[in-house]
Chains A and B, each alone.
Chain A
Amino acid sequence: MSNSVEQQESYDVVIIGGGVSGAAIAANLARYDLRVALLEKSADFGFGVSKANSGIIHAGFHHNLSALKSKLEIQGNLMFDSLCHQLDFPFRRCGIVVAAFTDEEMVIVNELYNQGVENGSPGIELCSHERMLMLEPKLNNDVVGGLFAPAGGVIEPYLYVFSLIEFAQRNGVETFTEFKVSTASRQENIWHITSSDERMMQTRYVINAAGLYADHVSEIFNGEKFEIIPRKGEEYLLDRASKAYPERVIFPVPTPNSKGTLVIPTVEGTTMIGPTAQEVDEKDDDTTTAENMKNIFVLAANMVSGISRRDIITAFSGSRPTLPGNDFMIKISETTPALIQVAGIQSPGLTASPAIGEYVKDLLKISGLTMIEKKSISRTNQKTVKVRFATRAKLKELIKKNPAYGNIICRCENISEAEIVEAVHKGHTTLDGVKFYTRSGMGRCQGGFCAGKVIEIINQETGIPVEQITKRGKGSWLIVERLNEL
């Protein structure tokens, strides 16, 4: 079903990869008079690296300014306050503490502090034992000292990605899911791209933001040869009732390879501990192991009181896409025309993402793309209604307007039918897509009660037969068949 060249959609820029980098670039380019397409190989955006991110907005003290990632981290951090108002995603600048438990660790903390000062980490502070406990009462009493970076914070990475996507869509960016780029050719200064299911499009510029698969995509475009090494991280999510829920993000003293195992107060009131950092062979390795679970709990309990394995509600893992040298590689391709590489976006990629969007926009300008701002844009996303945050008076008003706000589908997280319907209408038609958008199934029962109802709502709203509804796209089927109705 190869459509002729005339029928093919033609874009100024195609972004490959709908994770946080691709989405931030799309949101940035949405402001300009350009025809932009965003391609994602999975069933929904952020389903690759981004969904398993810890959700930390880093404060710019972990890396030396000589690294590109460090510059973009600080810039990105400072953009989050205005972004969260504009895009309507939850963000809390709760601050970060790095806790030292020995004098040797304190030496490293001192270095981090000096680095933070040099990098311009706002308000960074070197702390005594007393100051640390005042800032974070959940820390174990044997903390020697540490540092406090008030600019650090937490977000929900998938919601951030979704809100960037929504902003991009509202302003004309065309988005495609289950679009896995399989071939590319260049004719008369135009790229011709084909997906694995033989959809085709053309574009003047290509941005490779393919995360773990950026090396494969680069190869498809005859770009630089490099290898993305997956570095897996496991995370454990604890119940809202966990006594360990801290005031701030708690970091241990980092090692050269990793920022260590953190104790994270998520925006929504659960406690998350992790991640590990382990180089793995397979890019899609999403396993968790008994050994790492044990280690994470020991490491977390060394820092914080109240950590208990009894509070685990789920575990997950994902891999960071790393390059040798551990820096980002964001550049105009030196081997291939009209290709911009956005690769190796590991930590602090989430924090840096709004700055990555700006940076890539500038690279496009340098590459010769004329960028004129649109005369009018939709500046903000529509605020989503969340029954769990509504007062009784507000709830009454909501239910009057739409009774589906009164029908609670997810009892653990208090999510209404109306919110799930909204998610489905916004294109989240897998169980995980609805979960990440609404939180339905993210609570302590992990979908034991609501998943069936969510499947039914997806079926009702989209007409997709239940046998074809999936957890997260192709192959992840949920139901094999329906018995004949009596």
Chain B
Amino acid sequence: MKSDNKNYYDVIIIGGGAAGLSVGAVTAEAGLKTAIIEREADLGGILLQCIHNGFGLHHFNEELTGPEYAAKVETAAIKAGCQIFTETTVSAIIKQANKNITVDCSSAIHGALELEAGAVVLAMGCRERNRGNIGVPGARPAGIYAAGFAQRLLNIKGCVPGKKAVIIGSGDIGLIMARRLRWSGVEVKAVVEIMPHASGLPRNIAQCLEDFNIPLYLSYMTTKINGKQRVESIEIAPHKNGIADMSKAVKIDCDTLLLSVGLVPENELSVKAGIELNLDTGGPVVDSSLMTNIQGIFACGNVLHVHDLVDFVSEEAIVTGHAVINYLNNKAIANNEIKVIPGTNVKYTVPNSYNRAVNNSFYLRSMMVMDSAELTVYQHEHPVYRKKLKHVKPAEMLQIQLPVSIETSMELDPILPLTISLEAI
């Protein structure tokens, strides 16, 4: 509901990274009064610390560094007329009885602000899993950092975290940091991965490890961290089903450990607002408009599910932007959402429901590595769509477009859920 309140915005976007800026460019361009709230001093989010290239190949058809990509989406958002609040932290999102949504903020610049919105987009991104989350045993000295934290220290603050490093986990940030540390004169002794396969992108394995002869230990677990005040060494051993083979244990001297062991969507605000989360993604459950269970609150980017590529974040954000416009224009959407459930070998799907009138695109992630696979969409055990896929792996998010024809050719039941499965062939 429009309001004369000067603190009223049609759209308030929480988070000024790739997702938030990309949504803002769409909604502001459409003439909606849009605010982007960012807790840091600069817009761009995590892209700002990703000074390597490889961004934008899909979305902008050119290879950009993180800051370059950020500059592009920032310029678009500002040009479109978004109002920006930096150094402002949102402390609560409250749905009001009049359908509007209050956003409580605090900021050294703006004070304790209460903004009001017709729609809110969650774009808070994700955070890194830490040592406690993965239960690495041993001593508790200084020198254990999340890889992204070390990346920020090095690339933004110019602080080198140590001299001899081991990286636990083969996530993309860890791989990128292996190379970055080498370039800063740090000896990178090993990357240790508990799974039998790397969790980062293949191109990062090649460019960041193989090109620098950094050994990658697959199916190795960390059995102990040593060091009184600062890390002194780490003990690793190959394992089967989580049981370490101590006869093949290796001790590596190092003073620094970086953890690249996964990312978690940051949904504390969402939970506080009463938004239902999907346990498979850690992000909100969303319908085909990427709207959460609370009317008028949408989500996109890494707060919804962790993406491999920022290009997909922007794509998803644009879809969200249009959905927000439709919502605020009270465009009647046929309310025939069909639930979508991850089936065999599928870790998750986003969105969690299907409505051909709105969005027929899905992101999903495989649980297994498969050289060649068949993706099948079932409704009540009847296949309604099939597609052959090559080189399926958990590290690479899959995107599928359900053809418009599936609803015309096969009468879709309006209630029964769809199941998406992957099978090796």
The answer to whether A407 touches B142, judged by C-beta atoms less than 8 angstroms apart, is no
**How long is the Cα–Cα vector from A377 to B137 in the complex, in angstroms?**
47
Please name all residues of chain B whose beta carbon is closer than 8 Å to the beta carbon of A288 when the two chains form the complex: 137-138, 140
Whether A399 is near chain B, meaning CB under 8 Å from some CB there, is yes
Whether A79 is near chain B, meaning CB under 8 Å from some CB there, is no
The answer to whether A474 touches B135, judged by C-beta atoms less than 8 angstroms apart, is no
The answer to whether B133 touches A470, judged by C-beta atoms less than 8 angstroms apart, is no
Please name all residues of chain B whose beta carbon is closer than 8 Å to the beta carbon of A412 when the two chains form the complex: 268
The answer to whether B112 touches A399, judged by C-beta atoms less than 8 angstroms apart, is yes
Whether B111 is near chain A, meaning CB under 8 Å from some CB there, is yes
Whether B42 is near chain A, meaning CB under 8 Å from some CB there, is no
The answer to whether B141 touches A476, judged by C-beta atoms less than 8 angstroms apart, is yes
CB closest residue in chain A, given B134: A312
**How long is the Cα–Cα vector from A444 to B163 in the complex, in angstroms?**
28
Residue B229 contacts which of A241, A400, A475, A484 (CB distance < 8 angstroms)? A475
Q: What is the size, in residues, of chain B's interface with A at 8 Å between Cβ atoms?
A: 48
**Contact A477 to B111, CB < 8 A, known contacts A387-B106, A399-B106:** no
Please name all residues of chain B whose beta carbon is closer than 8 Å to the beta carbon of A414 when the two chains form the complex: 91
Q: Which one of A114-122, A187-195, A349-357, A445-453 contacts B? A: A445-453
User: Which residues in chain A, 210-247, are within 8 Å of chain B measured between CB atoms?
Assistant: 236-237, 241
The answer to whether A316 touches B128, judged by C-beta atoms less than 8 angstroms apart, is no
CB closest residue in chain B, given A414: B91
**How long is the Cα–Cα vector from A208 to B146 in the complex, in angstroms?**
40
Please name all residues of chain A whose beta carbon is closer than 8 Å to the beta carbon of B128 when the two chains form the complex: 445, 448
The answer to whether B106 touches A475, judged by C-beta atoms less than 8 angstroms apart, is no
The answer to whether A480 touches B140, judged by C-beta atoms less than 8 angstroms apart, is no
**How long is the Cα–Cα vector from A215 to B123 in the complex, in angstroms?**
56
**How long is the Cα–Cα vector from A284 to B224 in the complex, in angstroms?**
16
Please name all residues of chain B whose beta carbon is closer than 8 Å to the beta carbon of A449 when the two chains form the complex: 127, 149
Please name all residues of chain A whose beta carbon is closer than 8 Å to the beta carbon of B130 when the two chains form the complex: 313-314, 445-446, 448
**How long is the Cα–Cα vector from A417 to B108 in the complex, in angstroms?**
9
The answer to whether A315 touches B160, judged by C-beta atoms less than 8 angstroms apart, is no
Residue A479 contacts which of B106, B160, B224 (CB distance < 8 angstroms)? B160
The answer to whether A284 touches B228, judged by C-beta atoms less than 8 angstroms apart, is yes
Whether A134 is near chain B, meaning CB under 8 Å from some CB there, is no
**How long is the Cα–Cα vector from A405 to B137 in the complex, in angstroms?**
37
Residue B135 contacts which of A286, A293, A476 (CB distance < 8 angstroms)? A293
Please name all residues of chain B whose beta carbon is closer than 8 Å to the beta carbon of A385 when the two chains form the complex: none
The answer to whether B140 touches A479, judged by C-beta atoms less than 8 angstroms apart, is no
The answer to whether A406 touches B106, judged by C-beta atoms less than 8 angstroms apart, is yes
The answer to whether B146 touches A293, judged by C-beta atoms less than 8 angstroms apart, is no
Whether B153 is near chain A, meaning CB under 8 Å from some CB there, is yes
The answer to whether A448 touches B146, judged by C-beta atoms less than 8 angstroms apart, is yes
Please name all residues of chain B whose beta carbon is closer than 8 Å to the beta carbon of A474 when the two chains form the complex: 229
**Contact A287 to B139, CB < 8 A, known contacts A399-B112, A479-B159, A479-B160:** yes
The answer to whether A392 touches B108, judged by C-beta atoms less than 8 angstroms apart, is no
**Contact A452 to B149, CB < 8 A, known contacts A403-B109, A408-B89:** yes
**How long is the Cα–Cα vector from A403 to B106 in the complex, in angstroms?**
10
**How long is the Cα–Cα vector from A473 to B229 in the complex, in angstroms?**
8
**Contact A483 to B132, CB < 8 A, known contacts A399-B108, A474-B229:** no
The answer to whether A392 touches B104, judged by C-beta atoms less than 8 angstroms apart, is yes
Nearest CB in chain B: distance from A441 CB, A: 11
CB closest residue in chain A, given B140: A286
Residue B142 contacts which of A404, A472, A483 (CB distance < 8 angstroms)? A472
Please name all residues of chain A whose beta carbon is closer than 8 Å to the beta carbon of B139 when the two chains form the complex: 286-287
Interface of B is mostly: mixed
Residue A471 contacts which of B39, B142, B148, B154 (CB distance < 8 angstroms)? B142
Nearest CB in chain B: distance from A373 CB, A: 42
Nearest CB in chain B: distance from A295 CB, A: 13
The answer to whether B135 touches A290, judged by C-beta atoms less than 8 angstroms apart, is yes
**Contact A408 to B135, CB < 8 A, known contacts A417-B108, A479-B159, A483-B160:** no
The answer to whether B131 touches A408, judged by C-beta atoms less than 8 angstroms apart, is no
The answer to whether A481 touches B160, judged by C-beta atoms less than 8 angstroms apart, is yes
Please name all residues of chain A whose beta carbon is closer than 8 Å to the beta carbon of B248 when the two chains form the complex: none
The answer to whether A477 touches B153, judged by C-beta atoms less than 8 angstroms apart, is no
Nearest CB in chain B: distance from A298 CB, A: 14
Whether B114 is near chain A, meaning CB under 8 Å from some CB there, is yes
Whether A309 is near chain B, meaning CB under 8 Å from some CB there, is yes
**How long is the Cα–Cα vector from A315 to B139 in the complex, in angstroms?**
10
Residue A406 contacts which of B108, B157, B161 (CB distance < 8 angstroms)? B108
Whether A466 is near chain B, meaning CB under 8 Å from some CB there, is yes
**How long is the Cα–Cα vector from A474 to B229 in the complex, in angstroms?**
8
The answer to whether B112 touches A290, judged by C-beta atoms less than 8 angstroms apart, is no
Nearest CB in chain A: distance from B243 CB, A: 10
Whether B396 is near chain A, meaning CB under 8 Å from some CB there, is no
Whether A85 is near chain B, meaning CB under 8 Å from some CB there, is no
CB closest residue in chain B, given A396: B112
Nearest CB in chain B: distance from A57 CB, A: 26
Residue among B114, B132, B271 with the highest chain A CB neighbour number at 10 A: B132
The answer to whether A482 touches B159, judged by C-beta atoms less than 8 angstroms apart, is yes
**Contact A287 to B159, CB < 8 A, known contacts A314-B131, A406-B108, A408-B39:** no
Contact with B along A288-303 (1 / 0, CB 8 A): 1110010000000000
**How long is the Cα–Cα vector from A403 to B113 in the complex, in angstroms?**
13
Please name all residues of chain A whose beta carbon is closer than 8 Å to the beta carbon of B132 when the two chains form the complex: 236-237, 312-315, 446
Nearest CB in chain A: distance from B48 CB, A: 13
Residue A395 contacts which of B106, B131, B152, B163 (CB distance < 8 angstroms)? B106
Please name all residues of chain A whose beta carbon is closer than 8 Å to the beta carbon of B114 when the two chains form the complex: 392
The answer to whether A408 touches B142, judged by C-beta atoms less than 8 angstroms apart, is no
5 interchain residue pairs of minimum CB distance: A475-B229, A471-B142, A314-B132, A476-B142, A403-B108
- Apart from A236-B132, A313-B130, A399-B108, list 12 A-B contacts with CB within 8 A: A286-B140, A289-B137, A400-B111, A406-B106, A406-B109, A412-B268, A447-B149, A449-B149, A456-B157, A472-B142, A480-B162, A480-B163
22 A-B pairs within 8 Å (CB atoms) are namely A286-B139, A290-B137, A312-B132, A314-B130, A399-B108, A399-B111, A400-B111, A403-B108, A403-B111, A406-B109, A406-B110, A407-B89, A408-B89, A411-B268, A445-B128, A452-B153, A475-B230, A478-B142, A479-B161, A480-B161, A480-B162, A481-B159
Q: B residues bordering A, Cβ < 8 Å? A: 39, 87, 89, 91, 104, 106-112, 114, 127-128, 130-133, 135, 137-143, 146, 148-149, 152-154, 157-163, 184, 223-224, 228-230, 268, 271
